[in-house]
Amino acid sequence: MSYFFISVFVPIFILVPFLLGIIRFHTFKKYDKIMWLYIIVNGVINATVSFLAWRGINNMPIFHIYTILEFIVISFFFKSVHNNKLYTLFSCIILLIFIILSVINSIFIQGIWIFNTYSRSIEAVILIGYCIFGLIQLINKMDSFNNSVFWYTSGLLVYFSASFVLFIVANLTLGIDKSLNWILWHIHAFMVFILYIFITKGFYLGKRRG
Amino acid sequence: MENGGDNIFVLVLIAILGSVVISFGIFYFFFAYIQKTAKHRQVLQQKEIEYKTLLFNSVVASQEEERRLIGKELHDEVSSVLYAIRLRLKNNSLPDNHSNIEAIDQIIRITRNISHLLSPPEIEMLGFHDSIKQLVDNFSDNDAQLKINLVDHAEGFISRGKFQVSLMLYRIIQELITNTIKHAHAKNIDITIENINSSLVITYKDDGIGMKAESFNNPTLGVKNILSRLILIKAHYNFKEGDGFHFEIILDHNNIA
């Protein structure tokens, strides 16, 4: 079975938002910059995962680190969007609890050598909540479609809500059928691709706003 | 792989596809909802702009009307009397002192009326509450058929220094009474001024022929004038259709600049 879409197309496609981010960087606000940082984190993790897989080394520990990094970056993204003391306090507490629980899970519960389904699915639930809250806040704002936050938040919402079930069953499906895994991770890669498109759209708006 | 008759392969696939469909559904819901609210807001904004333009035009029109009246008054009354005095002086006809004094008194009276029309001096001297009493007295003196009952339970709510808001409310009440006299064929007017929850509430009622909500929404120059003044002082209003004319002005204490 071909893995071109997962291992070549989507990882290379990340260069589109990354390069657009460089070009539009001078027009970026704080939350655009954080989203660009998210793209960089994704790119670096993708490259590391691919490199380790190529060398035949188990790359699962990288996903554990990635989950925490991703949660931190997206939490800071929403914090910079809302810029509200109460929200900052709330998201910092959630962030702290999540990091502690993820580390406990990685060391004592699931271990670092398998996919961290617990942390990843809890992360998805919290971030779906953040995204819905963020979009509700945008409903009554002027010109939401020309606001890059709308596209970042929508991209994250679509990605996490679509991948949520996949994160839960990731370990369960391992022994079932190779073709099932192939389909699931292709769906996941497709959702990542959609997320990158939404982020690219947000970066593109950075220019118009500037 | 089978488990209790169910194929896990199929179930997992359905669950994943279901979550993909739901995720796009949620996105579409937000997209469509935001789009709809934006359109709705745009329509409202457009209406608001049109309404404000209408009121602004009415301010300009009434200003012009006021100027026209003052010009007419100056031309017809003051100039003609001055011209008569000039003629007498030119002809050296030395008329009796009495008619000269009478003519000059007439000019003084007219100029006082004009200046009073431009800016009622009692507002500055007496403040809002007392000047409204005087306004009501003036109307009552001039029209014996009409009975105006003024009840002020909020004395001191608008302090004497608040000239702008006092003048606006004075003009509004003046315009309301004038409208009643001109159009309503009313015998009684009740004006109540109250302090309700830190808001000044002025209730104006007459027992005339009343006004339909339809007419109120397509206002005449006088009504437009009232509405634009209300906007200027950030006051709200309630118009009630029914027997007689019933109008309520609500002004929050914080908006008294």
Q: What's residue A101's pLDDT?
A: 96
Q: How much of chain B exceeds pLDDT 90, in percent?
A: 24
Of A138, A140, A157, the CB nearest to B23: A157
In angstroms, the CA B226 to CA B246 distance is: 14
Which run of H or E residues covers position A95? helix A85-104
- Kindly identify which residue of chain A lies nearest to residue B33, measuring between CA atoms: A139
Q: What is the pLDDT of residue B94?
A: 59
Please report residues of B whose CB lies closer than 8 A to that of A169: 12, 15-16
Enter the ipTM.
0.83
A137 in B contact zone (CB under 8 Å): no
Domain ranges for chain A: 4-209
Report the alpha-carbon distance of residue B41 to residue B46 in Å, rounded.
Answer: 9
B10 touches chain A (CB under 8 A): no
Of A161, A163, A172, the CB nearest to B26: A161
pLDDT at B93 over 70: no
What residues of A are in contact with residue B9 (Cβ under 8 Å)?
176-177, 180
CA distance B118 to B71: 12
Confidence of residue B52 (pLDDT cuts 50, 70, 90): confident
Q: Number of helices and strands (H, E) in chain A?
A: 9, 0
Q: Residue B30: its chain A contacts at CB < 8 A?
A: 135, 138-139, 154, 157
Instruction: Give the residue-averaged pLDDT of B112-122.
Output: 78
A142, A164, A172 member nearest B19 (Cβ)? A164
Where does CATH 3.30.565.10 sit in chain B?
120-255
More confident residue, B117 or B185: B185
Quick: pLDDT tens for B177-198: 988 988 888 899 999 999 998 8
Helix, strand, or coil here: B58?
helix
Nearest to B38 among A144, A157, A161 (CB): A144
The chain B residue lying nearest A191, using CA atoms, is B20
With beta carbons less than 8 A apart as the criterion, state whether B160 and B168 touch: no
Q: Tell me how far the alpha carbon of residue A131 is from its chain's centroid.
A: 12
Work out the average pLDDT over B26-46. Answer: 90
How open is the CA angle B66-B219-B50, to the nearest 5 degrees? 95
Q: Which residues of A touch B42 (CB under 8 A)?
A: none
Q: Which two tokens stand for residue B107?
A: 């000019």
Summarised one tens digit per residue, pLDDT across range B59-72 is 788 788 778 878 88
Q: What percent of chain B has pLDDT over 70?
A: 95
Segment holding B199, helix H or strand E: strand B199-206
Interface contact flag, B20 A187, Cβ < 8 Å? yes
Residues of A whose CB is below 8 A from B37? 139-140
* Chain A contact present for B28, CB below 8 A: no
Which pLDDT score is estimated for A210?
A: 40
B13, B30, B38: residue with CB nearest A154:
B30
**Helix ranges (DSSP H) in chain B:** 8-73, 80-90, 97-118, 121-142, 163-179, 213-217, 221-232
- Say what the pLDDT of residue A206 is: 64
CA distances from A2 to A7, A11, A191, A193, B240 (A): 9, 15, 18, 17, 75
Q: What is the DSSP string of A40-76?
A: HHHHHHHHHHHHHHHTT---HHHHHHHHHHHHHHHHH
Q: CA distances (Å), B233 to each of A130, B162, B204, B253, B254, in order?
A: 41, 11, 18, 11, 11
**pLDDT band of B254, cuts 50, 70, 90:** confident
Minimal Cα distance from A190: which residue of B? B20
Residue B31 has pLDDT above 70, yes or no: yes
Residues of chain A with pLDDT under 70: 1, 206-210
Greater model confidence, B257 or B232: B232
- To which CATH superfamily is domain B120-255 assigned? Histidine kinase-like ATPase, C-terminal domain (3.30.565.10)
Query: Does pTM top 0.80 for this prediction?
Result: no
